[in-house]
Each structure stands twice: as C-alpha cells, then as structure tokens.
Structure 1
Amino acid sequence: MSEIVPFLPKEKAKAELGKLLAKGKTKAKDAKAPPSKLKQAKKIKEAAKRELKMSSPGHLARCQAVVGCHWPAAVLLYRIAYLWRTINPKWKGNDGPCLAMLKAHWATSAGLGPGEINTALKRLREYAAHIVTIKPEGIGAGKKLCVYFDSDAFAEAMQTEGYEIKVMANEGMSLFA
C-alpha cells in the first residue's frame, strides 16, 4: 500500500519549504552566482562556440558529400560556386547566365588534371544535377563548357549536407571511409 502524506497547514508548509530552500541567508529562487563563477561560465560557453565552429564541416567537405565523396568533383563544384559568387556579369548562354570556359581552363582553374576533369564532370552531372547543369556550347576547338548554377539549391545542399556530416561525426561514423 502507498503511504499517505499528511498535508500541512499553509503557514507550516511555507516554513517547511523555506527550511528546505534555505542556503545560507539566501533562497534558491533569488540566489545569484558569484561574479567569478559567471565569468568562468561565460568563458566555457565561448570556448564551446569556438569548438563548434572549428568542428563544423567546411564547404569543401560538404561539396564532397553532395557529389558522392569524390574529391575532384567536390573541388570543381567548390570552384564553380566561388566563381559564380565573384564573377559578374556572367556570360550569356543559350539557357541564361552561365560560366563558360574551355574544359582545359576548367581543369586548370580547379587544379585538376585532364583525366580528373572528365570524371569530375561526370560525377557532377550524376550527383549534382539539381545544382549545376553543364552543357557544351560552340563548335570545334573553341567549344566551351557552359555551367548553369543554381545558387539557392547549392545553399540548401550546403545546409543539409553540413547537418548530416555533423551528425555522423558526433556518432563516430566516417563519411569518407
């Protein structure tokens, strides 16, 4: 059977509660931490914020997650995003504003070799079609690769991939194994 707890009259209940809450001359409700403890707590919070910023995945790691863990494609996507932000006005392609360069220039710009640029373009077309559309335009030796970039889709992918990478890291899993 359960034990019945007797109810105290209002005054006695307040006094009993006061005894339980009393710590020195203050009560828990109005107690304040000493200034030294507040400074220490602030330092701890700032350190935690710095650590969180340092441990969050960067754009290149997020780009790698978008393109299926392929470094050359991630580097190319990262480079495309950078050029899209910095080059203005864009070249006018058949389907709107785009970035246009020869394939060799794309490779040089991203720091990739001739073989790597081919696989990187293939991976971008396969995994990042919602972010970039790559179309050849022109004839002969002057044929350029036009890259149409969706900056909103890229920003959304960076948020999503960053969250997933952070969760995997917190659970001790490796995305790049």
Structure 2
Amino acid sequence: MEFFEVIKKRRAVRMYKPDPVSREDILTILEAAHAAPSGRNLQSWSFLVISGEKKQVMGESYGKIAEGYTRDWEDPQARESFINYSRTYGGAPVIIMVLADADPVPGVNRMHLESGCAAMENILLAATALGLGTCWMTGPLQDEANLRKLLDIPDDKQIVAVTPLGHPVAWPDPPVFPVPDFEQKIRWII
C-alpha cells in the first residue's frame, strides 16, 4: 500500500475477527515502531504484547471503566455496544501496550512520552499497511494501578497507550471532521 493511502485508510477499528495475528506480523509492526523518531535517539520505549488470560482481565477492568463512562448516555444500545467493546477490546486476539521511560525531570519525561507516541503511531500505520486493524486507546489507563500490577510494569516506565490488534470485521467509514477544511488549522508565520 502506498504511504499516503495507508495514512488515509487508518481507522479506529472496533470489531475484530477472532483470527490470530501471526507472530511475524506482530514483529514487523513492532520493528516499525522501533524505527520511530525518539528524543536524543534514546529509543526509550518498550512494548507488551498481551493475549490470553491477561487480555481477558484487562477487558474486565476496561468494562468497569466503560460502565462508569457511559452511565449518562441516553442511547442504551450505544452504551451496551461500547461496554461490550471495552470488555473484549472488540474481540481482537492481541493487545499491544506501548511503554516509555519515566523521568522525574518534566522536560525529559515529556520527551520520552512523545517518543512513545511516535512509536504508537508507527504501530497503527504498519498494522494498516498489513491489513490489520488498531485503535489508539487511553481509556483503559484510568485503571493504571491495576494494569501495572497485572502486567508487572515497573515504576520507571510510563504507559503511553494501548491498542487492540487484529483482522477487522470491516473497515470503518472515514470520520467526519468537525473542521473539514484542514487549512483552517494552519497559521503561516513569515
């Protein structure tokens, strides 16, 4: 797939087939993540590939968060759909979590976090290029203490984000942008 086509095709996928994702594809995706730019070229990221029982426990945790988050939703069908998605991460067979070094110096910590975000974006684009779906998620981090304990994440690491990874049931339609003319977001300074 051509580069700009990959960027435009990438979507937040919320329903996945149960088909497994090959170890080779996961390694290809994480190699792309590792090629992301990083502050001072420290490559201060690491990755957790989660499946099986730990993924199920993560879903239980996120399901509880979703129940609270959607408590005031007026559409019961939309609420139940979102809660079910949260409990199963859309049925994806794998979750990838991006970690970055944590640092007590705010500027350095921000550098590590931004490097982790660059790696996360590469994960999403590489997966799309391979025909796999993802969804950048930070909602599950509302139960960070439990995730840290469950996945044995040390204090010197910060969680950047998580994404389900799998074969999409279908590719979502392009989003409707609140500001469709992206040039309104540009300010030229001369």
How high is the TM-score relative to the length of structure 1?
Answer: 0.28
How high is the TM-score relative to the length of structure 2?
Answer: 0.27
Rg larger in structure: 1
